[in-house]
Amino acid sequence: DMGDLFLKQTVIRIKRCLRGNEVFARIGGDEFVIILTNIESNTQASLVANRIINVMQEAQEIASTVINATASIGTALHPDNGNSSSELFKYADIAMYRAKKKGRNQVCFFEHEMQQIFHYRLKIEMELKTAIEKKQFELYYQPVINPLTDNIQGFEALIRWNIDDNVRMPDKFIEIAEETQQILKIGLWVIEE
């Protein structure tokens, strides 16, 4: 019930930031879409987005509980980013996830390199599932040496992903594995190994 009340108050707050002639809809959960028309530059879209960010930062009281919320806003522009509504929606969604990754209360405009990054990350995510099933990972052990005594104190396990005789270093997949929760299965494999 509190979640529903919060969403209703959020809608009221966001409507105050708009001119009234926009399409404003909830697409599910806590995600909304706003279509601004007659925008001549990304500055105008940025002004609206920043008004929404600012209004969302104000604490809300619902049923005697103070709620602090944040917003992540992704923006795509016509015709710069696409011509169809499906393209613009997809690109705004990609920009929103970039805004979320950058931290709270962020506005991010779609850039075409984001699409390449998105596809790369999706490819790695799918390949990780296969890598876990086929156990394509390898561990290398590096000694940890006490610099005062020159004695080996232990070993550090370093993971590598060998896919089609191409070794991928952890910086190419660990972050994606963490974000997709696949790191749990990888971690169990490392412990067993």
Q: Omega of the bond prior to 79 within 30 degrees of 0, cis? A: yes
CA dist list (Å): 112 to 58, 71, 94, 109, 150: 33, 23, 10, 10, 51
Residue 181, Cβ density class (10 Å: 0-12 exposed, 13-18 middle, ≥19 buried): exposed
Which range has highest mean pLDDT (54-58, 108-112, 141-145, 176-180)?
141-145
- How many Å apart are CA 80 and CA 83, to the nearest integer? 8
Task: Write the pLDDT tens digit of every residue in 95-136.
Answer: 998 899 888 889 999 987 877 887 888 899 999 999 999 999
Strands 152-163 and 60-62: unpaired
pLDDT tens, residue by residue, 146-167: 999 999 999 999 999 998 889 9
- Residue 144 scores a pLDDT above 90: yes
